[in-house]
Chain A
Amino acid sequence: MLAMNYRGPYRVRVQQKPEPVIEHPNDAIVRVSRACICGSDLHLYHGLVPDTRVGSTFGHEFTGVVEEIGSSVQNLKVGDHVLVPFNIFCGSCYFCQRELYGNCHNTNPEATAIGGIYGYSHTAGGYDGGQAEFVRVPMADVGPTVIPGDLDLDDAVLLTDAYPTGYQAAEMGDIKEGDTVVVFGAGPVGIFAAKSAWLLGAGRVIVVDHVDYRLEFVKNFAQCEIINFKDVDDMAIHIKKMTDWLGADVCIDCVGCEAAGNVAQSITGRYMKLQAGAATVLHWAINSVRKGGNVSIVGVYGPTFNAVPIGNALNKGLTLRMNQASVKRHLPRLIEHIQAGRIEPSKIITHRVPLEEASDAYHIFSSKLDNCIKTVLIPPNAPKSGVVLH
């Protein structure tokens, strides 16, 4: 089969690879119909995630048709068209019992801090991802969701990570009616977090980034205010001026370890690897939120350590909430939002690219060329668009 193949930092190619096989009785083999490139795939692509092995296939946002099922699978059948949450989870461990599917303790032998994730290095379990013609889907009875017949495939694939992660980012902010919410990052997750903040009752939504075309997009898509941080001398002062000198009620980090905006953070975090990425947005969030406010973090950071102003967080009495999204628990409500016309996730897709051109797709996304916001890879023989046919 054709599959994306990691060769080293900034180097990927598509080549033939053996098809996956059933490894466990509750596995399914899925023929991929859509696979996105996620912003967090870029951390792998840039060589920032430890234990990313040459020969791995990335891709944790994908949909596909069930091709084969293991002997114990009861809830899926061959031919079902499914969307597959990026979390691999067992459904029965201590954490899954609490609906914390992103923290499953039974699917990742290599690390305890993170559950299994498709195509996200051996630090996240060593699974191959969906940027391929076929993919192994473990725990098939609990992970995949059959795509409702009226849901567009391009909306469905965004339900596997980007939209639920953006929604959970907003939800973890514990937004109250009328709250001022600042979202850092106008990538796909930030765009969905901004949109979701309105659904949760925000009174004001402000998005911060430095990429003009992304700011223009989020202003229209999420009807929010925008700040280009290149126009701003000091982010905390700017936000405080906008909020009667109190600070925002909620600040959300949708950027993570590759943030621009602070030279010292970039040098120590991104180039010298003296910390687990640049903590620029964590600084801005902690220092821009009001006393007693909430900081929600879904931006990805490395496993070592970051220099953050934790003393300010203490003195301000902040609540810091963060997690990988537990996609499965969000799906019913988020599908309702799409069906009710409250949100149209597929509007953020700017590039639909054949799987064979993954090298160029990664470069375009990584370098923010051609006004790229979201890229979907389409394997050979996949349906081109439209609703799912069962």
Chain B
Amino acid sequence: MKNIYKIQLIGVGGQGTIKASTVIGEAAMKKGLNVVMSEVHGMAQRGGTVVTEFKIGDADSPLIEEGAADLMIAFEPSEALRAINKVNKNSFVIVNNSPIVPFTVSLGISEYPELSSVFEELKTKINHLIIIDAQKIAKEAGNIISENMVLLGAAIATPGFPISKELIIQSMKENLPPKSIETNLKAFEMGFKEVKM
């Protein structure tokens, strides 16, 4: 079997999921690794579920087999459950703890589950579950918009992540706007420190 590292990201439009993915992907390329990634564009500019999946290593398709993700970063708690079919009990799963309640809930067309039951279910299924208050940390770093970098920082601190912190930081500098890079780097470092393993 070949050595392939599989990452699933899931969030809600506007949370910077694709940006975080691009940072990882370009860093992998810089390391000389092959990387294939799948993004979602179109219909939902904002508000819909946004998924990116990628495989780093000797793979052709960017889509991850069910149960095969090594790492999942969920930018929103209920979204972690939406992609639960992609992980297994040994996957590392990083979950942002602040919910984004869609308008369908306010209109009574759908329900948002109790947060405690969301985390309960994740805990029973996943051995390496890391719940992060990315909103609070991003706020401390200077801007709530940097949530994605908090989660990215936490992700790369997990064991087995195939790219060094230095390369990720370099990729951040090349992909994020210069005027917000300081805040983003701070958010990233704070996220990194959240994971103690």
A complexed with B: no
Binding site for B on A (CB under 8 A): none
